[in-house]
Amino acid sequence: MRIVLIILLVLSGITFVWSVLLMSPKGWLGLGIGWAAGGSDYGSKKTLETKLKKVALISALLFVISAVILPYTK
């Protein structure tokens, strides 16, 4: 069980970082590599942003849940 939680922790952390880096920057903070995901200014940008936000939210929740449960497993 501990190995599964560690793998989940690593994969959800990588997924979270990947999804945040692909988002377009809001303001002066941000890396601005969201254009690499294929988002254009003509329609697919909004749907890509919402999908990336959902992926980021789910992976962050999985990361926190697995980090909280991990110390209590053998």
Q: Which domain holds residue 45?
A: 41-68
Taking only the tens place, the pLDDT of each residue in 14-56 is 999 999 998 877 655 455 555 555 545 555 567 888 899 999 9
Total domains in the fold of the chain: 1
- The sign of the CA dihedral 23, 18, 53, 69 is negative
Backbone angles phi, psi at 24, to 5 degrees: -75, 145
| Residue 65 buriedness (CB in 10 A; 0-12 / 13-18 / 19+) | middle
Does residue 26 lie within any of the structural domains? no
64 pLDDT band (50/70/90 cuts)? Answer: very high
Query: How many angstroms separate the CA atoms of 54 and 47, rounded?
Result: 11
Token representation of residue 33: 């590599």
User: If you compute the radius of gyration of the chain from its CA atoms, what whole number of angstroms results?
Assistant: 15
Does residue 64 lie within any of the structural domains? yes
